[in-house]
Amino acid sequence: MRQLSRPFLLVTVVAVVGGCAPDIVTPPAVTITDVPYEARVVAPSPPVDPMPAVVWPLTGLSAEGASQADLDRPAVPIKVENTARGRPQKGIEHADIVFDEMINGRCLRLVAVFHSDLSKDVGPIRSARNQDPNIMGSLKTALFASGCNYSVQYTFNRYGQMLIADDFSPTTGNLRGSDGFERVSWDVVNKALEFRLWGHPEVFADEAVAAGFGPAPRQFDYAYPTETATATVEGEEVGTIDIRYSSCAHPHWAWDEDEGVWDRFEFDNPHLTLDGNQITADNVILLKVRVAYTQGYNPESFVVVSNASGFVATGGKVVPIRWTKSSRGDLFHLTTLDGEPVYLAPGQTWVELVPSSGAVISTIMFDGVVQ
Protein backbone atom coordinates (compact mmCIF):
# COMPACT_ATOMS: atom_id res chain seq x y z
CA MET A 1 0.00 0.00 0.00
CA ARG A 2 1.34 3.38 -0.93
CA GLN A 3 2.24 5.63 1.93
CA LEU A 4 1.02 9.19 1.99
CA SER A 5 3.54 11.91 1.77
CA ARG A 6 4.24 13.88 5.00
CA PRO A 7 2.72 17.16 3.70
CA PHE A 8 -0.59 15.48 2.84
CA LEU A 9 -0.76 13.88 6.25
CA LEU A 10 -0.26 17.22 7.95
CA VAL A 11 -3.08 18.83 6.03
CA THR A 12 -5.41 15.95 6.83
CA VAL A 13 -4.75 16.20 10.60
CA VAL A 14 -5.33 19.89 10.59
CA ALA A 15 -8.61 19.41 8.82
CA VAL A 16 -9.81 16.81 11.32
CA VAL A 17 -8.89 18.91 14.31
CA GLY A 18 -10.50 21.98 12.83
CA GLY A 19 -13.70 20.03 12.20
CA CYS A 20 -14.04 19.11 15.97
CA ALA A 21 -13.71 22.65 17.39
CA PRO A 22 -16.71 23.54 19.75
CA ASP A 23 -19.18 26.31 19.03
CA ILE A 24 -18.80 29.54 20.99
CA VAL A 25 -21.76 29.89 23.47
CA THR A 26 -22.66 33.39 24.67
CA PRO A 27 -24.59 33.40 28.06
CA PRO A 28 -27.72 35.55 28.32
CA ALA A 29 -27.47 38.92 30.00
CA VAL A 30 -28.46 38.93 33.75
CA THR A 31 -29.80 42.04 35.48
CA ILE A 32 -29.28 42.33 39.29
CA THR A 33 -31.56 44.78 41.11
CA ASP A 34 -30.88 45.79 44.75
CA VAL A 35 -33.84 45.27 47.12
CA PRO A 36 -34.95 48.54 48.73
CA TYR A 37 -34.24 48.68 52.50
CA GLU A 38 -37.88 49.02 53.48
CA ALA A 39 -38.77 45.83 51.58
CA ARG A 40 -36.19 43.65 53.31
CA VAL A 41 -37.34 41.06 55.91
CA VAL A 42 -36.29 42.10 59.43
CA ALA A 43 -35.48 39.41 62.01
CA PRO A 44 -38.32 39.22 64.62
CA SER A 45 -37.73 40.88 67.99
CA PRO A 46 -37.60 38.65 71.07
CA PRO A 47 -40.96 38.39 72.89
CA VAL A 48 -41.64 41.07 75.48
CA ASP A 49 -41.09 39.87 79.03
CA PRO A 50 -44.58 40.03 80.65
CA MET A 51 -43.10 40.65 84.08
CA PRO A 52 -42.91 44.37 84.95
CA ALA A 53 -39.43 45.78 85.39
CA VAL A 54 -40.22 46.71 89.01
CA VAL A 55 -42.90 45.04 91.14
CA TRP A 56 -44.31 45.43 94.63
CA PRO A 57 -43.02 42.40 96.56
CA LEU A 58 -46.29 41.59 98.36
CA THR A 59 -48.60 41.81 95.32
CA GLY A 60 -46.40 41.21 92.28
CA LEU A 61 -48.06 44.22 90.60
CA SER A 62 -46.09 46.82 88.69
CA ALA A 63 -44.34 49.38 90.88
CA GLU A 64 -43.41 51.66 88.00
CA GLY A 65 -43.29 55.23 89.27
CA ALA A 66 -42.85 54.23 92.92
CA SER A 67 -40.04 55.90 94.80
CA GLN A 68 -37.12 53.84 96.02
CA ALA A 69 -37.99 54.82 99.59
CA ASP A 70 -41.49 53.36 99.18
CA LEU A 71 -40.11 50.16 97.67
CA ASP A 72 -37.57 49.80 100.47
CA ARG A 73 -39.94 50.37 103.40
CA PRO A 74 -40.85 47.45 105.69
CA ALA A 75 -44.19 45.69 105.58
CA VAL A 76 -46.75 46.92 108.12
CA PRO A 77 -48.84 44.04 109.57
CA ILE A 78 -51.71 45.26 111.77
CA LYS A 79 -53.98 43.20 114.02
CA VAL A 80 -57.61 44.01 113.14
CA GLU A 81 -60.91 42.85 114.61
CA ASN A 82 -63.12 40.71 112.35
CA THR A 83 -66.32 40.06 114.31
CA ALA A 84 -69.80 41.47 113.85
CA ARG A 85 -69.08 43.99 116.62
CA GLY A 86 -65.88 45.12 114.91
CA ARG A 87 -67.20 45.38 111.36
CA PRO A 88 -67.28 47.41 109.23
CA GLN A 89 -63.53 47.94 109.39
CA LYS A 90 -61.57 50.93 108.21
CA GLY A 91 -58.92 50.70 105.50
CA ILE A 92 -58.40 46.95 105.17
CA GLU A 93 -59.34 47.01 101.48
CA HIS A 94 -55.90 48.56 100.88
CA ALA A 95 -53.93 45.65 102.40
CA ASP A 96 -51.64 43.64 100.11
CA ILE A 97 -52.08 40.39 102.07
CA VAL A 98 -54.61 39.54 104.79
CA PHE A 99 -54.41 36.53 107.15
CA ASP A 100 -57.68 35.40 108.73
CA GLU A 101 -57.09 33.55 112.02
CA MET A 102 -59.28 32.03 114.70
CA ILE A 103 -59.05 33.38 118.25
CA ASN A 104 -60.91 32.68 121.48
CA GLY A 105 -64.67 32.27 121.14
CA ARG A 106 -63.99 30.70 117.74
CA CYS A 107 -64.22 34.17 116.22
CA LEU A 108 -61.83 35.66 113.69
CA ARG A 109 -59.18 38.34 113.80
CA LEU A 110 -57.06 39.62 110.91
CA VAL A 111 -53.40 40.28 110.32
CA ALA A 112 -53.73 42.88 107.56
CA VAL A 113 -50.38 43.54 105.86
CA PHE A 114 -49.84 46.94 104.23
CA HIS A 115 -47.00 47.89 101.92
CA SER A 116 -47.80 49.09 98.40
CA ASP A 117 -50.79 51.16 99.57
CA LEU A 118 -50.58 52.64 103.05
CA SER A 119 -54.15 53.41 104.01
CA LYS A 120 -54.52 56.64 105.96
CA ASP A 121 -56.42 54.92 108.79
CA VAL A 122 -56.91 51.27 109.77
CA GLY A 123 -59.12 49.84 112.48
CA PRO A 124 -60.41 48.63 114.80
CA ILE A 125 -57.02 47.45 116.02
CA ARG A 126 -57.06 44.65 118.59
CA SER A 127 -54.61 42.62 120.65
CA ALA A 128 -51.99 40.12 119.51
CA ARG A 129 -52.07 36.35 120.05
CA ASN A 130 -49.47 33.61 120.54
CA GLN A 131 -49.90 32.40 116.96
CA ASP A 132 -49.08 35.77 115.39
CA PRO A 133 -45.29 35.25 115.34
CA ASN A 134 -45.97 32.10 113.29
CA ILE A 135 -48.15 33.97 110.85
CA MET A 136 -46.13 37.12 110.20
CA GLY A 137 -42.60 36.00 111.04
CA SER A 138 -41.64 35.72 107.36
CA LEU A 139 -42.38 39.43 106.87
CA LYS A 140 -39.27 40.33 108.92
CA THR A 141 -40.91 43.29 110.59
CA ALA A 142 -42.88 44.28 113.70
CA LEU A 143 -46.54 43.52 114.39
CA PHE A 144 -48.76 46.47 115.32
CA ALA A 145 -51.53 45.71 117.82
CA SER A 146 -53.48 47.26 120.68
CA GLY A 147 -51.53 45.18 123.22
CA CYS A 148 -51.35 41.62 124.49
CA ASN A 149 -51.25 39.50 127.63
CA TYR A 150 -48.08 38.35 129.38
CA SER A 151 -48.03 35.00 127.58
CA VAL A 152 -47.91 36.75 124.21
CA GLN A 153 -45.27 39.18 125.44
CA TYR A 154 -43.16 36.20 126.41
CA THR A 155 -43.68 34.61 122.99
CA PHE A 156 -42.55 37.72 121.10
CA ASN A 157 -39.52 38.22 123.33
CA ARG A 158 -38.58 34.55 123.22
CA TYR A 159 -38.49 34.43 119.44
CA GLY A 160 -36.94 37.86 118.98
CA GLN A 161 -39.93 39.33 117.17
CA MET A 162 -41.06 42.88 117.83
CA LEU A 163 -44.54 43.90 118.93
CA ILE A 164 -45.43 47.59 118.78
CA ALA A 165 -48.61 48.38 120.69
CA ASP A 166 -50.74 51.20 121.99
CA ASP A 167 -50.27 50.29 125.65
CA PHE A 168 -46.49 49.66 125.78
CA SER A 169 -44.50 52.43 127.39
CA PRO A 170 -41.61 52.59 127.90
CA THR A 171 -39.84 50.10 125.66
CA THR A 172 -39.29 46.67 127.20
CA GLY A 173 -37.26 44.14 125.21
CA ASN A 174 -39.01 43.62 121.88
CA LEU A 175 -42.16 45.42 123.06
CA ARG A 176 -42.55 49.08 122.12
CA GLY A 177 -45.12 51.86 122.18
CA SER A 178 -46.13 53.96 119.17
CA ASP A 179 -47.40 57.39 118.24
CA GLY A 180 -49.36 55.91 115.36
CA PHE A 181 -52.45 54.91 117.35
CA GLU A 182 -55.57 57.03 117.79
CA ARG A 183 -58.68 56.43 119.87
CA VAL A 184 -61.44 57.88 117.68
CA SER A 185 -64.63 59.32 119.09
CA TRP A 186 -68.12 57.85 119.12
CA ASP A 187 -69.09 60.41 116.47
CA VAL A 188 -66.56 58.92 114.04
CA VAL A 189 -67.65 55.31 114.49
CA ASN A 190 -70.62 54.15 116.53
CA LYS A 191 -68.87 51.36 118.42
CA ALA A 192 -67.81 50.47 121.94
CA LEU A 193 -64.53 51.92 123.19
CA GLU A 194 -62.59 48.69 122.58
CA PHE A 195 -63.47 48.90 118.87
CA ARG A 196 -62.46 52.52 118.38
CA LEU A 197 -58.67 52.19 118.26
CA TRP A 198 -57.33 53.13 114.84
CA GLY A 199 -53.80 53.22 113.50
CA HIS A 200 -51.91 55.18 110.85
CA PRO A 201 -49.79 52.88 108.63
CA GLU A 202 -47.56 55.70 107.38
CA VAL A 203 -46.47 56.40 110.96
CA PHE A 204 -46.07 52.67 111.61
CA ALA A 205 -43.86 52.30 108.51
CA ASP A 206 -41.56 55.08 109.72
CA GLU A 207 -41.36 53.45 113.15
CA ALA A 208 -40.49 50.10 111.59
CA VAL A 209 -37.66 51.77 109.67
CA ALA A 210 -36.44 53.44 112.87
CA ALA A 211 -36.49 50.04 114.58
CA GLY A 212 -34.06 48.72 111.95
CA PHE A 213 -36.35 46.66 109.72
CA GLY A 214 -35.60 46.46 106.02
CA PRO A 215 -37.57 46.08 102.79
CA ALA A 216 -40.57 43.76 102.73
CA PRO A 217 -39.56 40.32 101.41
CA ARG A 218 -41.64 38.60 98.74
CA GLN A 219 -44.06 36.08 100.27
CA PHE A 220 -45.50 34.24 97.25
CA ASP A 221 -44.65 33.50 93.60
CA TYR A 222 -46.61 35.31 90.89
CA ALA A 223 -47.49 34.33 87.31
CA TYR A 224 -46.71 36.49 84.27
CA PRO A 225 -48.93 36.79 82.35
CA THR A 226 -51.78 36.55 84.89
CA GLU A 227 -53.71 33.88 83.00
CA THR A 228 -50.87 31.40 83.59
CA ALA A 229 -51.51 31.33 87.37
CA THR A 230 -51.52 27.76 88.67
CA ALA A 231 -55.18 27.57 89.71
CA THR A 232 -56.32 29.26 86.49
CA VAL A 233 -54.46 26.69 84.39
CA GLU A 234 -54.86 23.52 86.46
CA GLY A 235 -57.86 24.15 88.72
CA GLU A 236 -61.57 23.32 88.54
CA GLU A 237 -64.18 26.02 88.14
CA VAL A 238 -66.12 26.99 91.25
CA GLY A 239 -68.52 29.83 91.90
CA THR A 240 -68.46 29.96 95.69
CA ILE A 241 -66.16 29.10 98.58
CA ASP A 242 -67.72 28.73 102.04
CA ILE A 243 -65.72 28.38 105.24
CA ARG A 244 -67.74 27.42 108.31
CA TYR A 245 -65.41 28.32 111.14
CA SER A 246 -68.13 28.52 113.79
CA SER A 247 -71.42 30.21 114.65
CA CYS A 248 -69.32 33.37 115.08
CA ALA A 249 -67.56 33.22 111.72
CA HIS A 250 -68.76 32.04 108.31
CA PRO A 251 -66.94 33.85 105.49
CA HIS A 252 -68.12 33.29 101.96
CA TRP A 253 -66.26 34.06 98.71
CA ALA A 254 -68.04 34.41 95.35
CA TRP A 255 -66.33 34.68 91.97
CA ASP A 256 -67.17 37.93 90.17
CA GLU A 257 -66.70 37.17 86.48
CA ASP A 258 -67.21 40.78 85.38
CA GLU A 259 -64.59 42.21 87.71
CA GLY A 260 -62.30 39.19 87.69
CA VAL A 261 -62.02 39.03 91.50
CA TRP A 262 -63.35 37.10 94.47
CA ASP A 263 -65.98 39.04 96.45
CA ARG A 264 -66.04 38.45 100.21
CA PHE A 265 -69.16 38.01 102.30
CA GLU A 266 -69.71 37.43 106.00
CA PHE A 267 -72.55 34.93 106.22
CA ASP A 268 -74.96 36.27 103.55
CA ASN A 269 -73.92 39.91 103.76
CA PRO A 270 -71.27 41.60 101.61
CA HIS A 271 -68.13 42.28 103.64
CA LEU A 272 -68.05 46.07 103.40
CA THR A 273 -65.57 48.53 104.84
CA LEU A 274 -66.53 51.70 106.68
CA ASP A 275 -66.18 53.56 103.36
CA GLY A 276 -68.66 51.23 101.67
CA ASN A 277 -66.12 49.22 99.64
CA GLN A 278 -66.65 45.47 99.34
CA ILE A 279 -63.65 43.36 100.24
CA THR A 280 -62.23 41.56 97.20
CA ALA A 281 -59.19 39.42 96.48
CA ASP A 282 -57.36 38.24 93.38
CA ASN A 283 -56.25 35.09 95.21
CA VAL A 284 -57.79 33.20 98.12
CA ILE A 285 -55.46 30.73 99.85
CA LEU A 286 -56.98 28.20 102.23
CA LEU A 287 -54.45 26.54 104.53
CA LYS A 288 -55.56 23.75 106.84
CA VAL A 289 -54.01 24.20 110.30
CA ARG A 290 -54.01 22.40 113.63
CA VAL A 291 -55.59 24.31 116.50
CA ALA A 292 -55.02 23.69 120.20
CA TYR A 293 -55.95 25.71 123.27
CA THR A 294 -53.55 27.60 125.51
CA GLN A 295 -54.48 28.93 128.93
CA GLY A 296 -57.66 26.87 128.74
CA TYR A 297 -59.49 29.23 126.36
CA ASN A 298 -57.19 30.81 123.81
CA PRO A 299 -56.89 28.76 120.58
CA GLU A 300 -53.52 28.79 118.89
CA SER A 301 -53.03 27.85 115.25
CA PHE A 302 -49.88 25.83 114.67
CA VAL A 303 -48.74 27.05 111.28
CA VAL A 304 -45.16 25.77 111.50
CA VAL A 305 -45.86 22.59 109.58
CA SER A 306 -44.63 20.28 106.86
CA ASN A 307 -46.59 19.04 103.87
CA ALA A 308 -50.04 20.08 105.08
CA SER A 309 -53.01 20.37 102.72
CA GLY A 310 -54.92 23.32 101.39
CA PHE A 311 -56.32 25.04 98.30
CA VAL A 312 -55.58 28.06 96.13
CA ALA A 313 -58.38 29.91 94.32
CA THR A 314 -57.54 32.19 91.37
CA GLY A 315 -59.47 33.20 88.27
CA GLY A 316 -62.69 31.44 89.33
CA LYS A 317 -60.91 28.11 89.76
CA VAL A 318 -59.56 26.12 92.72
CA VAL A 319 -56.59 23.77 92.85
CA PRO A 320 -55.55 21.53 95.78
CA ILE A 321 -52.08 22.21 97.17
CA ARG A 322 -49.59 21.16 99.81
CA TRP A 323 -47.84 23.72 102.00
CA THR A 324 -44.85 23.84 104.30
CA LYS A 325 -43.51 26.37 106.79
CA SER A 326 -40.38 25.04 108.43
CA SER A 327 -39.96 27.78 111.06
CA ARG A 328 -41.60 30.91 112.37
CA GLY A 329 -39.47 33.06 110.09
CA ASP A 330 -39.82 30.85 107.02
CA LEU A 331 -42.09 31.59 104.05
CA PHE A 332 -45.31 29.74 103.31
CA HIS A 333 -44.10 27.35 100.60
CA LEU A 334 -46.97 26.32 98.30
CA THR A 335 -46.76 23.42 95.83
CA THR A 336 -49.16 21.45 93.68
CA LEU A 337 -49.85 17.82 94.52
CA ASP A 338 -47.12 16.99 91.96
CA GLY A 339 -44.61 19.09 93.87
CA GLU A 340 -44.49 22.00 91.42
CA PRO A 341 -44.42 25.61 92.72
CA VAL A 342 -47.75 27.42 92.92
CA TYR A 343 -47.99 30.76 91.12
CA LEU A 344 -50.61 33.32 92.08
CA ALA A 345 -52.15 36.09 90.00
CA PRO A 346 -50.50 39.43 90.75
CA GLY A 347 -52.74 41.36 93.11
CA GLN A 348 -54.26 41.16 96.60
CA THR A 349 -54.31 37.87 98.49
CA TRP A 350 -56.38 36.63 101.45
CA VAL A 351 -55.09 33.66 103.45
CA GLU A 352 -57.73 31.74 105.38
CA LEU A 353 -56.17 29.68 108.21
CA VAL A 354 -58.82 26.99 108.53
CA PRO A 355 -58.71 24.67 111.59
CA SER A 356 -58.81 21.07 110.39
CA SER A 357 -57.55 19.17 113.42
CA GLY A 358 -56.93 19.55 117.12
CA ALA A 359 -59.49 21.15 119.42
CA VAL A 360 -61.35 22.85 116.56
CA ILE A 361 -62.41 21.59 113.13
CA SER A 362 -63.95 23.80 110.45
CA THR A 363 -65.51 23.01 107.08
CA ILE A 364 -64.56 24.15 103.59
CA MET A 365 -67.13 23.87 100.81
CA PHE A 366 -66.88 24.61 97.09
CA ASP A 367 -70.28 25.23 95.47
CA GLY A 368 -71.88 23.55 98.49
CA VAL A 369 -69.72 20.41 98.32
CA VAL A 370 -67.68 19.63 101.46
CA GLN A 371 -63.96 19.28 100.86
Q: How is the chain split into domains, by residue range?
A: 68-370
Strand locations in 115-256 (E): 143-145, 163-165, 175-176, 181-183, 197-199, 221-222, 236-237, 240-244, 251-256
| pTM for the model | 0.86
Closest CA to 111 of 155, 76, 157, 87: 76
Report whether pLDDT(348) > 60: yes
Distance from C-alpha of 97 to C-alpha of 87, rounded to nearest angstrom: 18
| Sign of the CA dihedral with 235 first, then 240, 245, and 249 last | positive
pLDDT for position 302: 76
Q: Binning pLDDT at 50, 70 and 90, where does residue 167 land? A: confident
Dist CA 62 CA 244 (whole Å): 35
Q: Closest Cα partner for 312 from 289, 360, 345?
A: 345
Q: Kindly tell me if the per-residue pLDDT of 3 is higher than 60.
A: no
CATH superfamily label, 68-370: YerB-like (3.50.90.10)
* 275 conformational bin, left if phi > 0, alpha if psi -120 to 50, beta if neither: alpha
- Band (159; pLDDT cuts 50, 70, 90): confident
Spatial contact of 204 and 183, defined as CB atoms under 8 Å apart: no
* pLDDT tens track for 174-231: 889 999 999 999 988 989 999 999 999 999 999 999 999 999 999 999 999 999 999 9
The predicted structure's pLDDT at residue 20: 47
pLDDT given for residue 57 in this prediction: 98
**Predicted local confidence at residue 265, as pLDDT:** 98
The pLDDT-based confidence of 45 (bands split at 50, 70, 90) is low
Residue 323 has pLDDT above 90, yes or no: yes
Interacting residues of 65 by C-beta distance below 8 A, sequence separation 6+ = none
At 151 the pLDDT is 84
Closest by CA position to 350, among listed 288, 301, 289, 283: 283
Q: 94 pLDDT exceeds 80?
A: yes
Determine the pLDDT at residue 262. 98
- pLDDT over 70, % of the chain: 84
pLDDT interval class at 44 (50, 70, 90): low
What letters, b where the CB count within 10 A reaches 16 and e where it falls short, cover 293-308? eeeeebbbbebbbeeb
pLDDT at 141 over 50: yes
Secondary element (H or E) of residue 17:
helix 6-19
pLDDT, position 34: 54
The whole-chain average pLDDT of the chain stands at 88
Residues contacting 102, CB < 8 A, separation 6+? 108, 245, 246, 249, 291, 299, 301, 353, 355, 360, 362
Contact 167, 180 (CB under 8 A): no
Please give the single-letter amino acid code of residue 6: R
Residues 147, 149, 151, 153, CA torsion sign? positive
**Closest by CA position to 177, among listed 148, 152, 215:** 148
